Amino acid sequence: MNAGPVMIMAGGTGGHVFPALAVARALCDRGVDVVWLGSRRGLESRIKPPAGVAMEWLTISGLRGRGFLVWLLAPLTVGRAVLQALLIFRRVRPGVALGMGGFVSAPGGLAAWLARVPLLIHEQNTVAGYANRLLARFARRVLLAFPGALPAHRPCIETGNPVRRELLSLDPPRIRFGERTGPLRILVLGGSQGARILNRKVPEGLAKLDAECTVLHQAGRSDTREVESAYRRLGVKSNVREFIVDMAQVYAWADIAVCRAGALTLAELSVVGLGAILVPFALAADDHQTRNAQHLVGRGAAALIAERDLSADALAHAVEEFAANRASALARALRAHEMARPDATDDVVKACLRVRAGA
C-alpha cells in the first residue's frame, strides 16, 4: 500500500475539469491529499481548487484542430510533457493516478506507467478518445460513464459521470416544476467555451415563438455582447452571461435546456432532471456528442437537432412542443432523472482508494 496523494490528471474544458473537481472535493472531504496535474492553458488554471488540492502544471495544449506545424512538433511537445510529468511524479510520489481526460491525461498517464504508479482512467463519453484508448492498455482500472465506450483491456467499472455536488441537493422535478406557470424558462448552454452556432441561431429561433419565454444564455467570452444585442433587437427577454458559475441555481430555474451534448452536460441534466433540446457539436471526435445525445433521446428525455439542420424555424418548432404542453417538459425531466447516476463521484473515489490500497 502507498498512502501517497491521489494524482488527478485533467484539463482543457469543463467537460473534463468539472468532473475532476467533483472527485477532488470528495477525496478532500475524506481527508485524502490530492495533487492536480493540469495545464495553464486549460480551464483548470482559472478555477480556484478546493482547499487541500495542490496544483502542478505541464507545458502542453490540445492538438486537435491545430495547424500542420503543431502536429509536426507534436512528438517533441508530448515527449517534453511526459518528462515534466515524470519529474513531478518522482517528487510528489502519488499512491495512485486518475486520468480524467483532456490534453494532460496522455502524458500524465504515460508518466504514471513509467513511474510504476497505479493508473486509473475515467472515460466520460460514449466513444473513448485516443488518449484513453491508449492508456487503457496500461491502466489498473478503467472507469466508464457509458457501457461499451472502451474494449475491456482491463477490468471496467461503470460509474457514470461525476457532477458538481451542489446539483445533488436540488429538489426533484415534480417538486421544482409543481404548478409552475408564466413564460417558458429556457437555459441555453454552449459548454464552458460557448458555442458560436447556438449564439447565432437561438435568438432568431426564440424570436419566432408564439409562446412567451425568458432566456438565460451562456454565450462564452467572445460572443456575449453580440448575443445580448441580438436578443434586444429581436425583443426576447434574456439574461446573457459569459460563463455561469452557480449551475445549481440556473438548473433549478429552468424549464428546458438548449445545449450541446457533452458528457458532463448530459450527466448534469440527468442528475437534476431537466429535459433538453440537444445540438451535438458536429466536429467532436468520432461524432461522440451525437452518440452521447442518443443516450437521452432514446429514453424520451431529450430532442435532437443535428448541427447541419439547426435553423431558427427548426429550433422554434422544437421549443414550441415544450411551450404548448408544459406537462411535456415535466415528462422529459422525469425521464432524464430516471437515468441519473448520483453515486458516480463516490464510485470513482472508492475505485481510486481501493487501487491505492493495493486491491
Domain co-membership, 259 together with 178: yes
Distance CA 358, CA 319 (A): 51
Is residue 233 domain-resident? yes
- The residue type of 98 is L
Read off the pLDDT of residues 100-124 as tens digits, 9 standing for 90 and up.
988 899 999 999 999 999 999 999 9
Distance CA 349, CA 143 (A): 11
Distance CA 82, CA 351 (A): 25
Q: Show the low-confidence residues of the chain (pLDDT under 50).
A: 71
pLDDT at 193: 58
Contacts of 170 (CB under 8 A, 6+ apart): 176, 248, 251, 252, 272
Domain co-membership, 74 together with 156: yes
Q: Which three cell numbers stand for residue 56?
A: 502542478
Count how many residues are written for the chain.
Answer: 359
Q: Which domain, by its residues, includes 322?
A: 167-338
CB 75 within 8 A of CB 47: no
Is residue 1 domain-resident? no
pLDDT at 190: 79
pLDDT at 74: 60
Number of domains comprising the chain: 2
Among residues 209, 219, 223, which one has the least CA distance to residue 239? 219
Is residue 298 domain-resident? yes
Complete DSSP assignment for 15-73: HHHHHHHHHHHHHHHTT--EEEEEETTSGGGGSPPPTTEEEEEES----TT--HHHHHT
pLDDT at 66: 55
Domain co-membership, 140 together with 186: no
DSSP label at 164? -
- From the CB of residue 328, how many other CB atoms can be counted at a distance below 10 Å? 15
Domain co-membership, 153 together with 98: yes
Q: Which three cell numbers stand for residue 322?
A: 415544450
Domain co-membership, 191 together with 328: yes
Is residue 258 domain-resident? yes
Distance CA 241, CA 157 (A): 37
pLDDT at 14: 82
pLDDT at 69: 54
Domain co-membership, 242 together with 316: yes
Domain co-membership, 22 together with 157: yes
Is residue 310 domain-resident? yes
Domain co-membership, 311 together with 349: no
For 30, 37, 48, 128, 254, the CA distances from 291, given in Å and listed in that order, are: 35, 29, 32, 11, 25
Domain co-membership, 113 together with 186: no
Q: Which three cell numbers stand for residue 81?
A: 510533457
Contacts of 356 (CB under 8 A, 6+ apart): 1, 2, 3, 4, 6, 95, 96, 118
Domain co-membership, 304 together with 351: no
CATH of the domain at 259: 3.40.50.2000
Q: Is the pTM of this model over 0.85?
A: yes
pLDDT at 315: 96
H helix and E strand count, the chain: 14, 13
Domain co-membership, 211 together with 323: yes
Q: Which three cell numbers stand for residue 304?
A: 435532437
